[in-house]
Amino acid sequence: MNKPLRHALFAVFCLSPLVDTAIADDETTYGWVEKATIEPWGTEVKVKLDSGALTSSMQAEDIEEFERDGDDWVRFTVEVEDEVSDDIVSKTFERPVFRNLQVSGAGGEDHRPVVLMTICMGETLREEQFSLEDRDDMNYPVLLGRRTIQSLGTLDVTETFLHDADCHEDSPLRAHADKDYDEDIGI
């Protein structure tokens, strides 16, 4: 191998970790567990970032599917521990069904409605797809899957709680979340 080529390869191998580190430093890094608020409710919950799951999921009970103006809708109650007050709180939501999810596992097949919900992580409001399931027996009421994680930034599986949920009141997405469908059920 000629000398200039050898020097060029040496530089690539030696400097590439520095380049990767510089790129990673520009991205926002999240831990495998973070805090987020469910909007427009504002309740703060622990959120697990799970790269093994494709679709995000949210704690939901009393899931009732119905039809409104020819469209599929779902009514559900989110009951969680508020990380700020340590109180168990609940709220009933109504949302149009975004899509239906078929989950196959050892226990058979399960059908879950998927809805759009808004959460605040760090300083960013995000409208994401969440499958609804009873997660009472799980440690984290909200799980973020790969579809959501890929748009966040970097996931550091050795860290937790790198961000506080601190979204601004005047965010356009918050205004959208506030107008959501809750007025239809008097909440």
19 located within any domain: no
Q: What tokens does 54 get?
A: 């494709």
100 located within any domain: yes
pLDDT digits (tens, 9 = 90+) for 96-122: 999 999 877 777 788 899 999 999 999
Return the percentage of the chain with pLDDT > 70, whole number: 74
Structural domain that includes position 181: 28-185
Tell if the pTM clears 0.95, that is, is over it: no
121 located within any domain: yes
Please work out, in degrees rounded to the nearest 5, the angle formed at the alpha carbon of residue 142 by the alpha carbons of 137 and 143.
95
pLDDT digits (tens, 9 = 90+) for 134-174: 999 999 999 999 999 998 889 999 999 999 888 866 555 54
What pLDDT score does 21 carry? 42
12 located within any domain: no
Dist. CA 99–CA 131, nearest whole Å: 9
15 located within any domain: no
127 located within any domain: yes
164 located within any domain: yes
Dist. CA 141–CA 37, nearest whole Å: 11
What pLDDT score does 183 carry? 46
| Cβ neighbours, 10 Å, residue 83 | 15
The tally of domains found in the chain comes to 1
CATH number at residue 107: 2.40.70.10
Q: How confident is the model at residue 186 (pLDDT cuts 50, 70, 90)?
A: very low
Q: Are 77 and 95 in contact (CB under 8 A)?
A: no
118 located within any domain: yes
HEC string for the chain:
CCHHHHHHHHHHHHHHHHHHHHHHHHCCEEEEEEEEEEECCCEEEEEEECCCCCCEEEECEEEEEEEECCEEEEEEEEEEECCCCCCEEEEEEEEECCEEEEEEECCEEEEEEEEEEEEEECCEEEEEEEEEECCCCCCCCEEECHHHHCCCCEEEEEEECCCCCCCCCCCHHHHHHHHCCHHHHCC
